[in-house]
């Protein structure tokens, strides 16, 4: 493997050419020049495995989020089915081995066929309204009496091959857990059924996923409101002053390095829930997905809603393109949700690693991000994000990747996020531009007007108290 100095020199040389080193978007293109430090830190601290053992040889150990690679140990005939140009098998070829078909959970020719998840619409209650005040989130999260005007509502849809990248060894349990989190995350009262052999059959945790129609069924008389979707409106970059600075210092003291790469710098304070959701909505999410009553003084700027990631991974995490799937206490598996069909053909020439997306084959020893483990650097510390919060974030990644338009078009299904900039939003990250914040003048004017009104009311209250005391 290249030593850190040589890696750094090669990065510097490549960065000076016209092609970008990393796949970037407007959120993190400024961090490109810091990638040398991330890779250098990783080279010093991480064992870089050349292979990874698995107790289940029929499953991919590191399936990337952008393509399906055949698991090791399978015959040449089944590997051919993973290729894009699928040809029908010749007559004289032997049939697939039985254990290979069971391993995939379906015939390989079904990998491109769709998997869908639905729910009966009469079991769903729509949200009656949205809010414009952080103090009234309970109104926006309280279901009304109306239901969608369709017989059923499609929640998720995607190819079986795409779903298999995330279900991995959990098979149907993964989809069952996601269905609970969408429909009934607190009580989990429903069950999953699948349409097979012209009938609806119950789904067990160990059943293989198939290219089929799945449905989340609820007990008679039970109705639910579906989990709201976060759009991540605006940006959340920690500034160097105020309470946000205190948050940064606390997070540095708690973590000190990236949860994934273990790099010490450069780090970002990655917010599990967008800061613009506000304190009250954050507390409702906390209670719903952790089943723990939140402390009364819990705010969205508490370090329990944050974790330390390298700046490149933070860009994916912030856009719901990187999620952490719970494996065991303090151990998560990284799942990359970037859609190659949306991002274009350039992704075919990139390796998606724990330090970012780099030209394919340039650093083959860097671990692939998809399937890599993440964990808190110091799990004994206080205020580590509970698994429930990261479960909520992971659900948002799934909804961004597989969420169906029937779901996204429901009334008031998106979280309200405050239009005003929050403390900790940096002035140099573009948030203050009129392009990204077109209502800036009106919002700031309204904020000043409200402040003046509050001050006048306080003065009036003091004058009234003085007059009654004399």
Mind giving me the DSSP string for 290-331? H-SPPPTT--TTSGGGEEEEEHHHHHHHHTTSEEEEEEETTE
**Per-residue confidence (pLDDT) for residue 202, from 0 to 100:** 98
Q: Which residue from 110, 112, 120 is spatially nearest to 406, judged by alpha carbons?
A: 120
**Per-residue confidence (pLDDT) for residue 39, from 0 to 100:** 47
Q: What is the pLDDT of residues 15-51, one digit of tens each?
A: 333 333 344 344 444 444 444 444 444 444 444 444 3
Contact 266, 278 (CB under 8 A): no
Q: What is the pLDDT of residues 51-82, one digit of tens each?
A: 333 343 333 444 444 444 444 444 454 444 44
Q: Is the pLDDT of residue 242 over 80?
A: no
In what helix (H) or strand (E) does residue 164 lie, and over which residues does it extend? helix 160-167
- Residue 177 — very low, low, confident or very high, per pLDDT cuts 50/70/90? very high
Contact 110, 211 (CB under 8 A): yes
> Going edge to edge, which strands form the sheet with 322-328?
322-328, 331-336, 373-374
- Residue 465 — very low, low, confident or very high, per pLDDT cuts 50/70/90? low
Tell which wins on pLDDT, 113 or 38: 113
> 């009966």: which residue's tokens?
120
Q: Which residue from 278, 256, 298 is spatially nearest to 386, judged by alpha carbons?
A: 298
d(CA 444, CA 421): 9
Half-sphere exposure in the Cβ direction for 325 (13 Å, CA): 23
- Residue 455 — very low, low, confident or very high, per pLDDT cuts 50/70/90? low
**Per-residue confidence (pLDDT) for residue 392, from 0 to 100:** 98
Question: Lowest-confidence range among 89-93, 403-407, 448-452?
Answer: 89-93
Q: Is the pLDDT of residue 171 over 80?
A: yes
**Domain ranges in the chain?**
4-48+230-408, 76-84+95-217
Tell which wins on pLDDT, 229 or 276: 229
The separation between CA 449 and the C-alpha centre of its own chain, rounded to angstroms, equals 37
**Per-residue confidence (pLDDT) for residue 418, from 0 to 100:** 59
Residue 316: exposure state from Cβ atoms within 10 A (0-12, 13-18, ≥19):
buried
What is the mean pLDDT of the segment spanning 346-365?
86
- Residue 120 — very low, low, confident or very high, per pLDDT cuts 50/70/90? very high
Q: Which residue from 462, 402, 359, 466 is spatially nearest to 118, judged by alpha carbons?
A: 402
Question: Lowest-confidence range among 32-41, 248-257, 284-293, 313-322?
Answer: 32-41
Q: Please report the DSSP string for 415-452 in residue order.
A: PP--SSPPTT--TTTTTTSTTT-TTHHHHHHHHHHHHH
Q: What is the pLDDT of residues 408-440, one digit of tens each?
A: 999 889 987 655 455 544 433 333 444 444 444
Q: Which residues contact 231 (CB under 8 A, 6 or more apart)?
A: 414, 415, 417
* Mean pLDDT across the chain: 74
Contact 351, 363 (CB under 8 A): yes
What is the mean pLDDT of the segment spanning 438-452?
48
**Per-residue confidence (pLDDT) for residue 44, from 0 to 100:** 47
SS3 content of the chain, % helix, strand, coil (to 5): 35, 15, 50
Q: What is the pLDDT of residues 311-340, one digit of tens each?
A: 999 999 999 999 999 999 999 999 999 975
**Per-residue confidence (pLDDT) for residue 462, from 0 to 100:** 67
Q: Is the pLDDT of residue 104 over 70?
A: no
What is the mean pLDDT of the segment spanning 219-225?
96
Tell which wins on pLDDT, 470 or 70: 470
**Per-residue confidence (pLDDT) for residue 380, from 0 to 100:** 95
Backbone angles phi, psi at 200, to 5 degrees: -90, 125
Query: Which residues partner with 195 through β-bridges?
Result: 200
Q: Which residues contact 328 (CB under 8 A, 6 or more apart)?
A: none
- Residue 95 — very low, low, confident or very high, per pLDDT cuts 50/70/90? very low
**Per-residue confidence (pLDDT) for residue 138, from 0 to 100:** 61
**Per-residue confidence (pLDDT) for residue 73, from 0 to 100:** 46
**Per-residue confidence (pLDDT) for residue 341, from 0 to 100:** 53
**Per-residue confidence (pLDDT) for residue 429, from 0 to 100:** 38
Supply angle C-alpha 55, 56, 60, rounded to 5.
120
What is the mean pLDDT of the segment spanning 376-393?
96
């Amino acid at each position: 493997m290249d030593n850190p100095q040589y890696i750094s020199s090669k990065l510097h040389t490549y960065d000076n050419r016209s092609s970008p080193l990393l796949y970037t978007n407007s959120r993190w293109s400024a961090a490109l020049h810091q990638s040398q430090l991330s890779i250098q830190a990783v080279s010093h601290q991480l064992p870089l495995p050349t292979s990874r053992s698995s107790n289940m040889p029929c499953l991919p150990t590191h399936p990337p989020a952008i393509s399906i690679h055949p698991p090791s140990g399978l015959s040449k005939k089944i590997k051919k089915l993973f290729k894009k140009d699928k040809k029908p098998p010749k007559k004289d070829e032997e049939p697939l081995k039985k254990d290979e078909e069971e391993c995939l959970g379906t015939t390989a020719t079904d990998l491109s066929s769709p998997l869908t998840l639905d729910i009966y619409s009469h079991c769903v209650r729509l949200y009656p309204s949205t809010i414009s005040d952080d103090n009234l989130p309970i109104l926006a999260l309280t279901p009304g009496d109306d239901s969608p005007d369709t017989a059923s509502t499609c929640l998720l849809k995607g190819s079986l091959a795409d779903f298999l990248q995330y279900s991995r060894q959990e098979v149907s349990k993964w989809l069952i857990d996601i269905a609970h989190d969408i429909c009934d995350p607190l009580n989990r009262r429903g069950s999953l059924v699948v349409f097979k052999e012209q009938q609806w059959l119950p789904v067990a945790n160990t059943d293989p996923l198939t290219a089929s129609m799945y449905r989340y069924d609820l007990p008679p008389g039970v109705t639910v409101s579906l989990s709201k979707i976060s759009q991540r409106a605006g940006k959340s970059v920690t500034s160097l002053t105020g309470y946000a600075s205190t948050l940064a210092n606390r997070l540095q003291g708690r973590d000190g390095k990236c949860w994934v790469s273990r790099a010490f710098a450069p780090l970002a304070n990655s917010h599990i829930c967008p800061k613009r959701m506000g304190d009250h909505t954050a507390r409702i999410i906390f209670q719903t997905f952790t089943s723990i009553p939140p402390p009364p003084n819990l705010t969205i700027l508490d370090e329990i809603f944050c974790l330390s990631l390298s700046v490149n991974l933070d860009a994916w995490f912030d856009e719901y393109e990187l999620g952490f799937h719970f494996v065991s206490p303090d151990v998560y598996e990284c799942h990359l949700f970037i859609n190659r069909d949306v991002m274009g053909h350039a992704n075919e020439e990139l390796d998606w690693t724990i330090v970012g997306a780099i030209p394919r084959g340039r650093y083959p020893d860097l671990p692939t991000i998809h399937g890599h483990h993440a964990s808190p650097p110091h799990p004994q510390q206080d205020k580590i994000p509970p698994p429930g919060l990261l479960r909520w974030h992971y659900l948002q990644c799934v909804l961004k990747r597989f969420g169906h338009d029937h779901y996204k078009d429901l009334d008031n299904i998106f979280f309200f996020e405050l239009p005003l900039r929050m403390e900790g939003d940096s002035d140099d990250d573009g948030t203050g531009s009129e392009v990204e914040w077109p209502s800036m003048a009106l919002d700031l004017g309204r904020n000043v007007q409200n402040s003046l009104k509050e001050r006048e009311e306080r003065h009036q209250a003091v004058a009234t108290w003085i007059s009654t005391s004399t």
